[in-house]
């Protein structure tokens, strides 16, 4: 057990360290690959379902059947010993585990409400290893489920379902799609989806991985091709994190780096202050927007009144519904007039947050990025202070080996460091900022620079706690 926990801490350290050095590919799950983040959320639900407290327990009792066996050794106690697994989850200091538990409870409650009110079609968008189609079937046998996902993950899910049930269930339709390039209208029409039936859409843990166009097209499809009264629940990333502007929310640095390291970086976010206008503009009526604080109050308070754990602070969950046609037009018109009152931040605006740094610092940053792009790892070593790369567990050589292997897997195409903070004290400087990659941003995980005796700068200290 001790060894597994040690391995987990090492893994977290390495993810954080490599987070500052991520390969910079175009965003999205690699073609043909099963979504790594879908596997991770399935593992979180498997652990959450063993919570001894029924008040905070994750209701996904089937998650363990969808778990990739590869994950079983990764988290101590996974699916068996909640106390051990919880220690590991808390050590991650990301809040993602608690967020996923609150999210399952919230989305399950909304789905149950819709089914009770007579909804007969459920579309699970970006389904991953979602088990709702199988958990809700006994209580709502008339409901038809559509599980929509990228082809490789969808295929793998079908195999896991067949293994669990011994057959392919006739109430579930598996629908492959790429939200960034394909229309939901086309793929659902081919799967006998009925546009005149009340439908409930679950879009869990997906919007932040796809382009704004992909999000817009999906929400507009829901508004225009579903019966009035149909509902949708989806979660969204706060725009400040997507734009690399502010990573101070709990877990933001770690989770942003983790998902990018898995090849599924965050690319899209919404400013919570403008959420209602955002939803109205896409033709939907807002019902609720749950902040991390509200989710904690509703779903993470244990039977003894204490909070089960700290939730990540940069994701909200929206519930919206399809209004009647005339109301939809009014909502869109009102939202358009409100649009004039604020300007939607786009990544290109955020260049203005860049601070000017001395020439020698800029030269250092530029040369460092160039070496990453050209994979010159030998020369790159010189850009770190001796203590920077030694975590106490691995030596410098081993760490450079990790970096080299990560880059070999996904060669880097674009890397630019934008500093938003540079506080110099003597020959050291505290820095902050983000890394611009091809199509997305990740936090600068390195917090300090030092000037060497020859006048050149180097990364000086990695601070995992910030």
Ligand X SMILES: C[S@@+](CC[C@H](N)C(=O)[O-])C[C@H]1O[C@@H](n2cnc3c(N)ncnc32)[C@H](O)[C@@H]1O
**Residues engaged in binding ligand X (CB under 6 A):** 28-29, 35, 37-38, 41-42, 126-130, 149-150, 153, 177-180, 204-206, 209-210
Least distance (Å) between residue 149 CB and ligand X? 5
Least distance (Å) between residue 246 CB and ligand X? 22
Q: What is the dihedral of CA 335, 340, 346, 348, to 10 degrees?
A: 160
- What's the CA gap between 128 and 144, in Å, rounded? 18
How many residues does the structure list for the chain?
A: 466
Least distance (Å) between residue 144 CB and ligand X? 18
Strand ranges, E, within 226-297: 231-237, 285-290
Least distance (Å) between residue 418 CB and ligand X? 26
Least distance (Å) between residue 228 CB and ligand X? 26
Least distance (Å) between residue 33 CB and ligand X? 9
116 C-beta neighbours (distance < 10 Å), count: 10
Q: Which is nearer to ligand X, 173 or 328 (by Cβ)?
A: 173
- What's the CA gap between 458 and 381, in Å, rounded? 10
Q: Which is nearer to ligand X, 184 or 322 (by Cβ)?
A: 184
Q: Which is nearer to ligand X, 99 or 459 (by Cβ)?
A: 99
Degrees, nearest 5: CA angle 101-74-402: 120
User: Which residue number is nearest to ligand X in terms of Cβ?
Assistant: 128
Q: Residue 238 in 3-state DSSP?
A: strand
Q: Which is nearer to ligand X, 205 or 309 (by Cβ)?
A: 205
Q: Which is nearer to ligand X, 203 or 407 (by Cβ)?
A: 203
Half-sphere exposure of 412 (CA within 13 A, CB side): 28
Least distance (Å) between residue 410 CB and ligand X? 16
The answer to whether 68 and 36 are in contact (CB under 8 A) is: no
Least distance (Å) between residue 37 CB and ligand X? 4
Nearest alpha carbon to residue 130 among 80, 193, 56, 204: 204
Nearest alpha carbon to residue 434 among 254, 244, 238: 244
Q: Which is nearer to ligand X, 44 or 140 (by Cβ)?
A: 44
The answer to whether 66 and 128 are in contact (CB under 8 A) is: no
DSSP 145-198: EEEEE-HHHHHHHHHHHHHHHSS--TTEEEEE--TTTS-HHHHHHHTT--TTS-
Token reading at 444: 């600068």
Q: Which is nearer to ligand X, 180 or 416 (by Cβ)?
A: 180
Q: Which is nearer to ligand X, 180 or 385 (by Cβ)?
A: 180
């Amino acid at each position: 057990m001790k060894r597994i926990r040690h391995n987990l801490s090492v893994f977290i350290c390495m993810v954080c360290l490599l987070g500052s050095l991520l390969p910079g590919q175009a965003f999205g799950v690699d073609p043909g690959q099963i979504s790594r983040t879908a596997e991770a959320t399935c593992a979180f639900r498997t652990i959450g379902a063993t919570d001894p407290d029924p008040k905070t327990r994750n209701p996904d009792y089937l998650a363990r059947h969808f778990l990739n066996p590869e994950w079983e050794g990764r988290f101590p106690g996974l699916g068996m010993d909640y106390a051990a697994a919880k220690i590991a989850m808390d050590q991650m200091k990301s809040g993602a585990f608690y967020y996923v538990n609150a999210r399952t409870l919230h989305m399950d409650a909304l789905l149950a409400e819709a089914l009770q009110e007579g909804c007969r079609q459920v579309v699970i968008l970006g389904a991953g290893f979602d088990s709702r189609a199988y958990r809700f079937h006994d209580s709502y046998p008339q409901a038809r489920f559509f599980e929509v996902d990228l082809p490789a993950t969808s295929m793998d899910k079908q195999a896991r379902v067949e293994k669990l049930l011994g057959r392919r269930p006739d109430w579930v339709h598996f629908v492959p799609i790429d939200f960034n390039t394909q229309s939901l209208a086309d793929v659902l029409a081919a799967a006998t989806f009925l546009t005149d039936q009340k439908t409930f859409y679950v879009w869990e843990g997906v919007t932040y991985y796809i382009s704004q166009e992909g999000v817009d097209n999906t929400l507009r499809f829901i508004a225009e091709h579903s019966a009035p009264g149909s509902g949708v629940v989806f979660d969204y990333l706060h725009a400040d994190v997507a734009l690399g502007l502010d990573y101070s929310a709990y877990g933001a640095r770690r989770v942003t780096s983790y998902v990018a390291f898995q090849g599924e970086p965050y690319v899209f976010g919404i400013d919570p202050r403008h959420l209602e206008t955002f939803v109205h503009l896409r033709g939907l009526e807002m019902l609720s927007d749950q902040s991390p604080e509200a989710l904690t109050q509703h779903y993470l308070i244990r039977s003894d009144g204490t909070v089960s754990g700290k939730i990540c602070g940069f994701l909200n969950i929206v519930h919206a519904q399809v209004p009647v046609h005339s109301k939809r037009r009014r909502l869109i018109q009102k939202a358009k007039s409100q649009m004039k009152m604020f300007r939607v931040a786009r990544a290109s605006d955020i260049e203005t947050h860049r601070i000017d740094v001395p020439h020698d610092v800029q030269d250092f940053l530029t040369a460092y990025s160039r070496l990453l792009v050209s994979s010159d790892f030998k020369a790159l070593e010189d850009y770190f202070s001796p203590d920077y790369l030694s975590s106490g567990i691995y030596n410098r050589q081993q760490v450079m080996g990790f970096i080299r292997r990560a880059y070999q897997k996904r060669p880097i195409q674009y890397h630019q460091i934008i500093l938003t903070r540079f506080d110099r004290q003597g020959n050291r400087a505290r820095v902050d900022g983000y890394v611009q990659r091809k199509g997305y941003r990740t936090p600068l995980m390195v917090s300090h620079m030092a000037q060497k005796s020859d006048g050149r700068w180097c990364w000086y200290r990695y601070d995992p706690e910030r």
